[in-house]
Amino acid sequence: MTQHGLSEYYAPLMSDQRLPLHIDPVRLAKTGAHLHGHMALTSMARLAPALQSAAGEAEIDMVFSVDREGRAALSLHLTATVTLICQRCLEPMAYPIDTLHQLGMVGSEAGAERLPEQYEPLLFAGEPVFLRDLIEDELILSLPLVPRHSDQRCAPTASESEEGTGDTDRSRANPFAILAELKNQ
């Protein structure tokens, strides 16, 4: 695609570069296209709830090709640093994402089953692919299931701090003691 086309096909970026809003991955593979740019994390509504802050951007490098079997393929390299909430200490943490995905274009789920194992399937039924959705999907899949700092960097929670100071009465208190008191009244 050239940047001289209609402006609605291009997503504004934080820099002077622009990426297309929609792509035809098969056509781009036939031409051996290479797309590079940045996309704001704030534009990704499905990713935002998983983040502590949606500030920043993802760097995207896409190389389209046709493999030896004539299959349209996409090498997608994504880098970003996202801010998550550590589930151990509940403090913000920077989480770097640097992933490389090899996608093979398929027209159906049956085609996806026949893909060689080096490819992840990208369903393409002739309709243009919305690029932001593709990038957002891959970023979501790159997030950890349970974000946590490393053990050395994680601040202890309040209950862990109390346990370390010898305050064992609070940590060993019977949670049903209040019910027993209510029953006796």
**pLDDT 10s digits, 28-66:** 999 999 999 999 999 999 999 999 988 899 999 999 999
pTM of this prediction? 0.71
**pLDDT 10s digits, 3-32:** 333 333 334 333 335 788 999 999 999 999
Are 43 and 57 in contact, with CB atoms under 8 Å apart?
no
